Structure 1
Amino acid sequence: MHTTAATDPDVTATTDIQDKLITRDLTPGQHLMDAGYPSSANFAASVKRGITLIAPVIAATGRNAK
């Protein structure tokens, strides 16, 4: 379990969660996440740790997305 302030976006918790798992010798081969957690930095950090981050890709669909 990883607890943060309600005002912290989920994306900031990804590396902390992985650090806790690694410290406990529970490094996952794959880390499944929902849409709130992935970012390019988190994907890169996961690769360096030998973890495959699996999460949905968020597409910009608003009228300013063009």
Structure 2
Amino acid sequence: MDDAGTGTTWREMDPADYAHWRDAAVRRATVLRREAGLQFWRRAWTWVRTRPHPCHGAPGLPSHREV
């Protein structure tokens, strides 16, 4: 496949020529991984919040007034 209309494939290019593409791909992957991690913790926290609290037997965590 021709990259950027140069008539060469990425395999034939000098690594310095495609470093910016590679770096951009790494940045995108890092962002996606970070977002996936945040999503995991959001879901975990939502799950924790919706469990009955062992001390109160009420759904969710106790408020400061209940303690």
TM-score by length of 1: 0.28
> Larger strand proportion, structure 1 or 2?
1
> Larger helix proportion, structure 1 or 2?
2
Q: Which has the larger radius of gyration?
A: 2
